[in-house]
Amino acid sequence: MNSETCVICRKHTGLELVPPGGYIYEDGHWMVCHADVKWGPLGTLFIESRRHFLDYSEMTAEEAASLGGLLKRVYEALREHTDAERIYQLSTMEGQPHLHMWIVPRRREVPEKGVKFLSRDDTCEEEDAVALVEKLRQAIK
Ligand SMILES: [Zn+2]
């Protein structure tokens, strides 16, 4: 698979899978968006590398240096705008061989934790996702 057939690369060009409310944050290395509303609870985000590569081992020094600060800002924004008790981060690259992180807030009222929480079939409403995206866009700069 190359960048022309990769779904995440095509998503970055706006050709498919346009995220709810559009991208939240973009810089030279990273793009952040809300997941499709069928794929997780409200506030489920993707942090995607702008460049096509498999995993953390292939980051440039600049990508590696900038990721920690971005993760901090994303986590701060989710803490401020959701009632997450914990925020999960998961990367498998099994669906697409392009570095992306699932960022999934677990709310206080959700009884399942860890892998049991991640295996729930949670969804959210498009209008709620778009409203949250607007808040996160202001918070993640
Ligand atoms: Zn790609």
The Å distance, Cα 97 to ligand 1 centre, comes to 7
pLDDT at 4: 80
The Å distance, Cα 58 to ligand 1 centre, comes to 13
Domain borders along the chain are 7-139
Confidence of residue 8 (pLDDT cuts 50, 70, 90): very high
The Å distance, Cα 70 to ligand 1 centre, comes to 20
Provide the CATH number for the domain formed by 7-139 in this structure.
3.30.428.10
Residue-wise pLDDT tens digits, 18-30: 999 999 999 999 9
Q: What is the H or E stretch that residue 26 is in?
A: strand 25-26
Residue 130 φ/ψ, nearest 5 degrees: -65, -40
Which residue(s) pair with 104 in the sheet? 88
Q: CA–CA separation, 132 vs 3, rounded Å?
A: 30
Which sign does the torsion angle of CA 120, 126, 131, 137 carry? positive
The Å distance, Cα 46 to ligand 1 centre, comes to 14
Q: CA–CA separation, 43 vs 33, rounded Å?
A: 10
Residue-wise pLDDT tens digits, 77-132: 999 999 999 999 999 999 999 999 999 999 999 999 999 999 999 999 999 999 99
Q: Residue 53 half-sphere exposure, CB side, CA atoms within 13 Å?
A: 12
The Å distance, Cα 110 to ligand 1 centre, comes to 33
> What are the C-alpha distances in Å from 51 to residues 69, 72, 111?
18, 21, 37
Residue-wise pLDDT tens digits, 24-52: 999 999 999 999 999 999 999 999 999 99
Q: CA–CA separation, 84 vs 118, rounded Å?
A: 14
pLDDT at 141: 85
* pLDDT (average), residues 62-87: 97
Q: By three-state DSSP, how is residue 133 classified?
A: helix
The answer, yes or no, to whether residue 2 has pLDDT greater than 90, is no
∠ at Cα 107 (126, 117), nearest 5°?
A: 90
Q: Are 29 and 35 in contact (CB under 8 A)?
A: no
